[in-house]
Structure 1
């Protein structure tokens, strides 16, 4: 009898408070969802958290690189500046119609051509040059620092400079320039010149390098240089007499 009472008590306790492990839990029912379009169609919706399709997240717009933006602005400003400069230059060209000055060698005189005791050759030339400004609205300031020189082939015989002056519109100015110099290879040079003199055609080059400033109306531009060469053919090298220039060809340009 003592052994049956405890078994009976355990049985009653289990009936009143059933153990979760001994009782099967019925599966959860799935609610039916009806669609408005067709009431007869039902859909089983599973329990638990739903995994509804979310739209893809929009990427934030990319920020422009500051360097690229600065480069674009710089290029745009440069293009605009070039357009402005080009338009200004075109207008000034139409208004002033600039032309290069013209130069010619009128005569040449050799005042001294002496072979010294040290076999160096001393030469002194006097050159008369005509400078013509053909522009109607442009003046020319001839600045200091000019260089004129007479060459025989690749050897410089003498050099000099022109004075500082202003040349007005459509003006013609005659310049008398004294050139002097000394060459250490005098004997060889003098012999070559004497051989050329026998032919009556002695080639000489007059090279010109002159700094000038252009005046447009009341505006004075920055300094530029006039560079050129006059190729001369003379008949002799007699001293203290005018030398006949049989041929002369001058070519000049402007260097900014």
Structure 2
């Protein structure tokens, strides 16, 4: 009788713990689905190219251009804090210029026009 009662108690405790564990995993999964953030999207909206020349037997690139960049935060519950923003300019799979943009905070469901990025100079290619 004692062994049977011990087995029954053990089974009840095991089933209860197993059910609690499954409920915990299910609640974490549902929380993750509801709160999971989407990717922030960046888009170049306007570009002005005034100089883009290859010189010295196509080894040096002289460039001057400006771009406007938009950042879109599609999330309902997430605020994005931009502390360091760097824009890179690429030509033939190599970046040749960088511009650091001003840091800012972006609220949820927000579209922000970043400062105009001006790339100017020369670079070996």
- TM-score by structure 1 length? 0.33
Correspondences of 1:132-171 after superposition (within 5 Å):
132-144=72-84, 146-171=85-110
What are the ranges of 5 or more consecutive residues in structure 2 without an aligned counterpart? 1-21
User: For residues 152 and 114 of structure 1, do their structure 2 counterparts lie closer, same or farther at Cα, with a shift above 3 Å needed?
Assistant: closer
Q: Are residues 1:103 and 2:45 paired?
A: no
Displacement after TM superposition at 1:89 (Å): 5.2
Correspondences of 1:76-91 after superposition (within 5 Å):
90-91=29-30
What are the ranges of 5 or more consecutive residues in structure 1 without an aligned counterpart? 1-82, 186-256
Deviation sequence 1:165-186 (CA, Å, 0-9, x none): 000010001122222342235x
Correspondences of 1:218-233 after superposition (within 5 Å):
none
Q: Is the 8 A contact 1:123 1:158 kept in 2?
A: no
Displacement after TM superposition at 1:116 (Å): 7.2
User: Is the partner of 2:108 in helix, strand or coil?
Assistant: coil
RMSD: 3.0
User: Is the partner of 1:100 in helix, strand or coil?
Assistant: coil
Distance 1:171 1:104 in 2: 14
User: Is the partner of 1:138 in helix, strand or coil?
Assistant: coil
Q: Give the length in aligned residue pairs.
A: 100
Instruction: List structure 1 runs of 4+ shifted beyond 3 angstroms.
Output: 86-89, 111-117
Distance 2:64 2:111 in 1: 26
Structure number with the higher strand fraction is 2
Q: Is the 8 A contact 1:125 1:158 kept in 2?
A: no
- TM-score by structure 2 length? 0.62
Q: Radius of gyration: which is bigger?
A: 1
